[in-house]
Structure 1
Amino acid sequence: MLRACVIDFGSGWETHLPLVEFSYNNSYHTSIQAAPFEALYGPAQDRHKSYADKRRKPLEFQVGDIVLLKVSPWKGVIRFGKRGKLNPRYIGPFEITKRIGPVAYELNLPNELSSVHNVFHISNLKKCLSDETLVIPLEEIHIDKKLNFVEEPVEIMDRETKKLKLSKIPIVKVRWNLRRGP
């Protein structure tokens, strides 16, 4: 290997010695049935797995839990609306209606998703951590013809001016009128 390195690299062969050492230590040797690095330190894959398993927690859901469903776009198939960079990673929330096995759960899907099978692997589910009191019903939202959210201001509560080097920015604190209270 060194002779080939000297012939190939010429007079600057000593600068390439670390590369030769790396390639030698990581190539398979039939005499020891492994790479020298692997024979000395053990398979790296086992070490990576043990490190990952220390931080991994077993995931389990109960019937009645609220979860989000992971939607990964399949090539050529559009199942959940938009496609591209801005499509959602998770949709939902959905309620778990039945536990099929240790890693499969049945979800209560709305009628819009009736074409999708309602049993999913646990890796496609994520616990929904939303606060039910913060959900705004669709009846309370007013949208104009340009799809802008319409709210009415009640009063101006405070004013201040933020000074920058060359400009001033007025900042106004406004109380808005909502059906749930101002």
Structure 2
Amino acid sequence: MIGPELIQETTEKVRLIQARIKNYADRRRRPLEFMVGDHVFLKVSPTKGVMRFGQTSKLSPRYIGLYEILEQVKEVAYPLALPIDLDKLHNVFHVSMLKKYMPDPSHVIRHEPLQLRNDLTYEEKPIEILDHRQKQLRNKVIPMVKILWANHSSSESTWEVEEQMKSKYPHLFS
């Protein structure tokens, strides 16, 4: 098969794949729309401040606040009424950064002040060392420590290289 027949068949296969991908995406996509006056949580990502392979490793994202939607700018962009301590952030957020609040009279909302960066991340601080272990590689042994991070449960604790943690957080080892 050469020439126009090959091009025709390839074009048909590309159209078929595109149609299947669109159907797959559309079935799993749920439209998320907010009204003016709705209250939402804002997604932020904690960073541990430990560099691995040139990038900062992260813990699970979490939602902060309870902020009111001021208006709808576009289909997927909403400005929020942010508190004064977040006034350095641009107040318009994509719908993917928001989570709708369902009012519940028994719900107690804790407001923990965070020092958010412009990219909606904040540095997590280690609280304590939970465990020690040795990671055996082919030619060497690496001492590791299990760290409990502030604002996270023990199930979200992470294993870190002991040497890096000693240099960055010496108070944990005294």
| Alignment TM class, shorter chain as reference | 0.3 to 0.5
Q: Considering fraction of residues, name the structure with more strand.
A: 2
Q: Considering fraction of residues, name the structure with more helix.
A: 1
Structure number with greater CO (CA < 8 Å, separation at least 6) is 2
Query: Could you tell me the TM-score, scaled by structure 1's length?
Result: 0.44
Larger Rg: 1
Query: Could you tell me the TM-score, scaled by structure 2's length?
Result: 0.46
